[in-house]
A = this chain, B = another copy of it.
């Protein structure tokens, strides 16, 4: 057969002389590779996807043809035919917050090594946006979906509940839809509050930014508050309206000192805020921790490089991503997961700032 291969003629050949539509695309196809290799298309497909299902000679000639023709597999077609895509949807609420980026990094290095690609979505802390992203991503027949957090809106929940692929919810710990890797933020808040009380502080303010969005920071406050309540202490909360940043931390410090002059210690929702406050305190000639003690959350490297070192809670973020990816891969390759829920824990890092 000639190599322009008009494939089969249409069933009823009564069509007149008018040549039917012919959408082309100069792209090299698997059929061309197969032809060059002297095998059938399906064998060529197997040679690439299930190398040990074909003879050595067949595999070799297919690979040679691939090389020679510069064949690039059309993954879209493959996915449609097999309804598997090797795409993993990853949905995070923010890219400014380096915490999520580190999780993504952990996910990516593990998933890419296994031949999965990441489809990235950013909700900007908007659950409706999350729903839209999920819808889109399901349309791509993703192999799995990773999302930050256990909270979703109604529509999103319904959609995901009826989806028959692995779902991994990361960051926090709790009763999720499927798989879950995270840490207990309430406990983390309690841990830090206890530390501050142990250190002798009694007037402690919690400072967070946009807690309605960053509800995990809110959970830490809940833990913090419960400890203080148990000690019979007030647990004032200062909520900033800006995003967490060094700048916001500096402003937080100012506001706390104005509103609660007797404050001995500030428990910040994260290290960006805390470090910003610490650096600002230094600029103002305040002594940390004598004049004011400062604590954060995350364990960012910056905290270890300021003087005094920042007291913080170290959360294993990249590890969280790696673990999540590993569990997903395990599930995707048909094995059972060890556990549906993983507590990655956290570590109190007491520095000189408290």
Contact = CB atoms under 8 A, between A and B. Distances in A.
Nearest to A94: B105
* Majority secondary structure of chain A interface residues (helix, strand, loop or mixed): helix
Contacts of A70: 159
A58 interface: no
Contacts of A101: 95, 98, 101
A305 B246 contact: yes
Contacts of A104: 95, 120
A287 interface: no
A76 B141 contact: yes
A118 interface: yes
Contacts of A140: 75-76, 117
A307 interface: yes
A353 interface: no
A247 interface: yes
Interface of A: 11-12, 25, 70, 72-77, 79-80, 83, 85, 87, 95-96, 98, 101, 104-105, 108-109, 112, 117-122, 135-141, 159, 245-247, 250, 275-276, 279-280, 282-283, 301-302, 304-307
19 contacts: A25-B83, A72-B135, A73-B139, A75-B139, A76-B85, A76-B139, A98-B98, A98-B101, A108-B122, A112-B121, A117-B119, A117-B120, A246-B301, A246-B304, A247-B305, A275-B305, A279-B306, A279-B307, A282-B307
